[in-house]
Amino acid sequence: MQLRTILTLIGLFGVLGGVPALAQGQAFGPSAADSVILEMREAFAKGQTKRLTELLPRAQGHVLAPWAAYWELRARLEMAEPQEISRFLSRFAGTYQEDRLRNDWLLLLGQRQEWGTFMAEYPSFRMNDDRSVQCYALLTDFRSNERDVAQQVEALWLSQRDFDQGCAAAAEQQLKAKKLQPHAAWLRARLAMENGTQRNGNQRIASQAVGLLDAEWANTVSAIYGNPEHYLEGKLLALRLRTKELVTLAMIRLAVKDPDLAAAELDKLRWKTQLSQEERSWVWGVIGKAAAMRLSDKSLAYFMNGQDALMHADHLAWKVRAALRAGNWEQVAAATAAMSEGQRKEAGWTYWRARALLALAKTPADRVEPRRLLQSVAGLQGFYELLAQEELGLAITPPPAPEPLTEAEKTAANSNPGLQRALLAIAIGMRSDGVREWNYSTNLHTPGGMSDRELLAAADLACRSEVWDRCINTSERTKNVFDITQRFPMPHKQAVLNRTREIGLDPAYVYGLIRQESRFIMDARSHVGASGLMQVMPATASWTARKIGMTDFRPHQITERDTNIAIGTGYLKLVLDDFAGSMPMAAAAYNAGPGRPRAWRGQTGAPLLEAAIWAENVPFTETRDYVKKVLANTTIYAAMITGKTQSLKARLGLVGPLDQALAVNRELP
């Protein structure tokens, strides 16, 4: 992303609310005024309230003054007077910062139980994407007119992945009013026990949920979380309701730790007679999921001990994966049939259900429904859409370009204050803030929303500013038009083509990977330290530089375009060669390291799998999505580069156990 280009465009676009935009003469870096904004952002991150107040007058008149005012007031929101908050909301009406502060204030009002003020402000909250705020609103609805909100509260509470006060307060209200059944609290605890990836965070969630039913049980839940085996050892027959639920939680926790041990425990006679079919089915779902994530051949059998209709959505997803790996199309069909309508309509599950029905079809009439399902998702929007397209025998070719943008459409995007603020924020190093403001300014919750044409114009602005991630993401949100040049841009084309030609690598594959890795952000840096266009880790960069003969490489060079492309493509080629040219396995190795996909490919004697089935069974969510997106991107880029129809299936191929005759490059980091 080029700072000069963005600032030049901002300078050309005129004024923002009467405040002059940056002049082109400031295009080479942040100005002194920008430095004040950046210092305020740093002070906000450090909680330096006094410093924010001192700096605020110096930010007046700056394009990003709304951010400065937001940070200063947000830092002392708990002490601010309501009149001061109202003045801020009025002064910055219609901006992201206004709605962001209202979100923060509504959360504070809910925590303080200041329901009158909350109810007065809530209707003006445009984003309305905070589940805790939504729960506080339902709580006030029930307080004011006893409207039946239990179902909405339950759905919001169960969908919260983090520890939460707002939805817990609404759930407690509904439990006390006997509008919400205690089972909802147990479900919340079950999900926390099952998804125990946060250190102690999920234990808090489970304890909080069960504590709403009985405060004493919260301590028991904490003990179960740490040592489920010990709790189960002491349980006897003739269990009471609460003990049965606590046993279920212990079984779930044990399944996460050791699915085989949990299966043996659940198979004991006492649990068959004392736990309900619903409780046992849920636990079998957790056991099956945990085993499937370990790629155990026992996983499908574990799932089949329970009833699909009584399992959670995530259990059914993993049952489909286990059934695919086992080649059991009947169980793929059964599990997808048990999914909710919303889950079943997701492109992936629609595709696999169609494939299962086709595999089980005995007559031409049996093929009508699966073909209808494939037609419902076929297209160029993603991995399964492309596979459905091929399954129907339709060509994968670039779609026709939409009508060119008019000057009026471009001008409207150019003069949008939120988009201008977002571009400037990104240009001076406030990428996360700029991205949030850009997303807010292009989303449908803004006044009037954005049509497809307006989204194309906004994406065009981002493309011309070389802010490629906003270009791609904004264009991807159009519903009835598809601008492939915006969704799949090719920056640095000559550099990529030259390098891939030099080392014998498919340029479409490289573009597909870069699009997923960094969205073409030159200075992108991940939370684990990967850098640049191809997101290379420091140790990997140094190792690869030595392997490809780059003797003068220095770590700081990794964000330089040509160096990053040289090292990233060099490593990708080494990985691809190590996996015998398998693009999906090499993509998995690039994302998760080569050791993991070697383990995921199966042991000697295991059957060959369609790579789409193999990819769907990758245990890591990030890597599973990554492989699918990189290969889908690659197929589209290949169509663009060659101008010829392409096959995703051909690129996927088959995946199976390692050919013992092939050498493995154990040096690959």
SS (H, E, C) 474-514: HHCCCCCCCCHHHHCCCCCHHHHHHHHHHHCCCHHHHHHHH
DSSP-derived pairing of the beta strands 609-610 and 654-655: antiparallel
Cβ distance 423 to 9 under 8 Å? yes
Specify burial of residue 479 (Cβ count, 10 A radius: 0-12, 13-18, 19+): exposed
Task: Give the residue from 485, 261, 213, 351 showing the smallest Cα distance to 493.
Answer: 485
Give how far Cα 454 sits from Cα of 460, 473, 483, Å.
Answer: 10, 14, 13
Strand partners, 396: 646
Q: State the Cα angle at 211 between 206 and 217, rounded to 5°.
A: 90
Residue of 72, 121, 454, 517 marked active site: 517
Neighbours of 656 (CB within 10 A): 16
Specify burial of residue 244 (Cβ count, 10 A radius: 0-12, 13-18, 19+): middle
- Secondary structure letter of residue 362 according to DSSP: -
Q: Cα(494)–Cα(517) distance, rounded to whole angstroms?
A: 19
Cβ distance 602 to 656 under 8 Å? yes
Assigned token pair, 640: 């663009």
Q: Is 517 an annotated catalytic residue?
A: yes
Neighbours of 263 (CB within 10 A): 22
What residues have CB less than 8 Å from 400, skipping those under 6 apart?
none
Assigned token pair, 115: 């329901």
Taking each continuous run of H as one helix and of E as one strand, the counts in the chain are: 40, 4
Assigned token pair, 589: 């190795």
**How many whole angstroms from its chain centre is CA 632?**
17
Residues with a known catalytic role? 517
